[in-house]
Amino acid sequence: MVLRFDDTDTRVKPALPDAYGWIEDEYEWLAGRPADVVVRASERMPVYLEYAEQMIVGGFGYVCRCSADDFRGFRESKQDCPCRGKTAAESLSDWESMNAGKMSEGEAVVRVMTDMTLPNPALRDWPALRIQHAPHPLVGSRYKVWPLLDFQSAIEDHEQGVTHIVRGKDLMDSTRKQTLLYEHFGWEYPETLYWGRVKIHEYGGFSTSQMRASMESGEYDGWDDPRLPTLKALRRRGFCSQALRDFWIDLGLTQKDISISMQTIEAFNSSLIDSSSERRSFVASPVTLRLGEEVGAKVLAPKHPDGAIPGSREWVLSDSIAIQTSDLSPGKVRLKEFADVEISGDEVTVESLERSDQRAIIHWVPTSMAREAVVLRSDGDDLVTHEGLLEDFELEVGEVYQLERVGFARLESLSEGGPATLIWLHG
C-alpha cells in the first residue's frame, strides 16, 4: 500500500506541517501496519516538472496565457485557444519564465492537449500545472510552478507502479482526464473502481477546511475533539480500528450513495470490545447515604458479567455509599452485586444479601472506593460534562471500561488531587 500526501497546493489548501506525522500514525493505527511506501508529492517536484517538460516537447502539452474567462469561452464554444498553436520552442520559453518566477500567479498555466470538441467540457485541454508563489511548509519557495492534483496523481501512480485505484465516483472525470494523459505517454491506465458517497447522519457535512476554521475560531479544541468525525477523535474516544475495517468491508464497494447512522459503526465496535472491557461503576450527580450495617464487609463484583475476563473487583465497605440522585427515593431497591436494601432519608438498611424479590436494581459505589471523575460526552455541537464518582479499582489510563448503566468510555487521565477524565465512547 502507498500512503501518498497530495500536498502540491500552496495557496488554496496549504499543507498543515503537523498533519504529516498525524496521518502516518493514523494510517498505521487504522490499517494495522505501516504503509509500504510513503510519498510526499511536494518532495518529488522535479519528477512532475520533468514530465511536464516532456509533455511540452512531445507536442501534447502547451503553456496557455489566456485569462480564465477567455479560455472558458473557447472551451464552451469548442474553439482552440490561440496558445494551442504555439510551437514547442515558444511554450518552452514561457515554461522557463514560469519556473524562474518571471510570471505572476494566474498569468499562465500548462495544459494537456486533448480535443476541444470532446462532449465533456471538463476534458477539453485541461490544466495540469499552475503558478503559485506562496511558500510550501516542507520545501519553502524553491518552486514557482506546481502541478494540479489530476496531473500530479497520474504521474505518481505511474511512477509507483499502481495497478488499482479506488476512488469516489465524483472523481470519474479525473479518471477520464488521466486516461487521456496516459495515452499521450503510451502508458496503460490502472484498473479503477468507484464508491458512492457515504453520509453519517449524526455528522452531516464536514470538510477539513471547515473544521480547521472552526478550530481557529475556538469552536473546537483540536482535531481530536470528541464532537468531530476525524480518526483522531474516534481514536481518542476509544474506537477499535478493527471495527472500522470491519464496517467498510461489510459495506462493500458500491457506487450507490448511502446514508447510515453512527450506531451502525458503534455496533461493530461494541461486538469487538465488549468481551475485553472490564466493568466499573460511575455514579453521576451522586448523593451520599449512610450505611449502618455491613461496615468492613467485602463485596466482590465481577470484572465482566459473563466471565470473559476472570477475576473480581473487591470493594471494602465503609460507613457510606453513593448512588445517583435520580435513583434516590424512599423504598426498597437492590444494590447491584451486594444486597436488598431499604432507603429511608439519608440511611440505607440492609434487608438481605440474597435477592429476595423483584425490586429494582441500581448501581452504586462505596465512598471508600470512589474518586471524583468527569465524563465528556458529545451531544451534537455541544460537549457535555457529566460529573460524578468513579469506582477506583485498578484504573489504567487509555483503557476502555463499560460504565454500568452509562456505556463504554475511555479513561483519558488520572490526575493527583483532581478528577479522573473519561471520554464517552458509545452505549
Give strand ranges (E) for 233-360. Answer: 258-260, 279-280, 282-284, 286-291, 298-302, 312-316, 320-324, 331-335, 339-344, 347-352
What mean pLDDT, rounded, does the chain reach?
95
Q: Which CATH number fits domain 279-427: 2.40.50.140, 2.40.240.10, 2.60.40.10, 3.10.150.10?
A: 2.40.240.10
Q: What is the pLDDT of residues 353-387, one digit of tens each?
A: 999 999 999 999 999 999 999 999 999 889 999 99
Per-residue pLDDT reduced to its tens digit, 314-358: 999 999 999 999 999 999 999 999 999 999 999 999 999 999 999
Count of Cβ atoms closer than 10 Å to residue 89 Cβ: 9
> HSE on the CB side for 127, CA within 13 Å?
20
- Cell representation of residue 369: 472506593
Question: Which residue is associated with the grid cell 518532495?
Answer: 43
What top-level class would CATH report for the domain 2-195? alpha beta
Is residue 288 pLDDT above 80, yes or no? Answer: yes
Q: pLDDT for 8-36, tens place per residue?
A: 999 988 889 999 999 999 999 999 999 99
Q: What pLDDT, on a 0 to 100 scale, did the predictor assign at position 416?
A: 87
Q: Judge whether 369 and 332 are in contact, CB under 8 Å.
A: no
Structure-block grid coordinates of residue 185 = 505517454
Given a cut of 90, whether residue 296 has pLDDT beyond it is no
pTM, to two decimals: 0.87
3-class SS at 266? Answer: helix
The Cβ of residue 27 has, within 10 Å, a number of other Cβ atoms equal to 17
Q: What is the mean pLDDT of residues 169-187?
A: 98
- Asked if the 198-276 domain carries CATH number 3.30.470.20, the reply is no
Predicted confidence at residue 202, as pLDDT, reads: 84
Domain-wise residue ranges, the chain = 2-195, 198-276, 279-427
